[in-house]
Structure 1
Amino acid sequence: MNRTGKAPTVVIVPGLRDHVEQHWQTRLEAHLRAQNRPVLAVPPMGRAELDCASRIEAIEKAVEAADSPVIVVAHSAGCIMVAHWARRYPRAIGGALLAAPPDFETPMPEGYPDLDALGANGWLPVPREPLPFASIVAASRNDPLARYQRVVEIAREWRSELVDFGNVGHLNPASGFGEWPAAVGLIESLARRRAAGATTALWHA
Structure 2
Amino acid sequence: MTRTSKPTIVIVPGMRDHVEDHWQTILAEQLRHAGRTVHIVPPPARNRLSRDAHVANVVEVMAQITGPVVIVAHSAGVMTTVQWAQWHDADVRGALLATPPDFETPLPDGYPTPDELATYGWTPVPRKPLPFPSIVAVSSNDPLASLDRVAELARGWESRLVELGPVGHLNPASGHGPWFQAEELVEALADGWCHAGPRPAS
Q: Does the alignment reach a TM-score above 0.5?
A: yes
Counterpart of 2:143 in structure 1 is 144
Task: Please say if 1:21 is aligned against 2:20.
Answer: yes
Runs of 4+ in 1 over 4 A off after TM superposition: 45-48
Counterpart of 2:7 in structure 1 is 8
**Per the alignment, do residues 92 and 34 of structure 1 end up closer, same or farther by CA in structure 2, a change over 3 Å counting?**
closer
Q: Which amino acid aligns with 1:22?
A: D
CA contact (8 A) 2:43 2:57 kept: no
CA offset at residue 168 of structure 1? 0.7
SS at match of 2:117: helix
SS at match of 1:193: coil
Task: Please say if 1:187 is aligned against 2:177.
Answer: no
> Where do 5+ consecutive residues of structure 2 fail to align?
196-202
CA contact (8 A) 1:70 1:93 kept: yes
Q: Which amino acid aligns with 1:181?
A: F
Counterpart of 1:101 in structure 2 is 100
Counterpart of 2:172 in structure 1 is 173
CA contact (8 A) 1:128 1:157 kept: yes
CA contact (8 A) 2:44 2:53 kept: no
What's the CA shift string for 1:57-87, capped at 9, x where partnerless?
1111112212231000000000011110000
Q: Which amino acid aligns with 1:176?
A: G
TM-score by length of 2: 0.90
**Per the alignment, do residues 61 and 132 of structure 1 end up closer, same or farther by CA in structure 2, a change over 3 Å counting?**
same
- Percentage of matched positions with identical amino acids: 52
**Per the alignment, do residues 43 and 120 of structure 1 end up closer, same or farther by CA in structure 2, a change over 3 Å counting?**
same
State how far apart, in whole Å, the 1-side matches of 2:63 and 2:80 are: 16
Q: Which amino acid aligns with 2:131?
A: P
- Count of residues paired in the alignment: 193
RMSD: 1.8
State how far apart, in whole Å, the 1-side matches of 2:100 and 2:15 are: 12
CA contact (8 A) 1:15 1:75 kept: yes
> Where do 5+ consecutive residues of structure 1 fail to align?
none
SS at match of 2:11: strand
Q: Which amino acid aligns with 2:123?
A: L
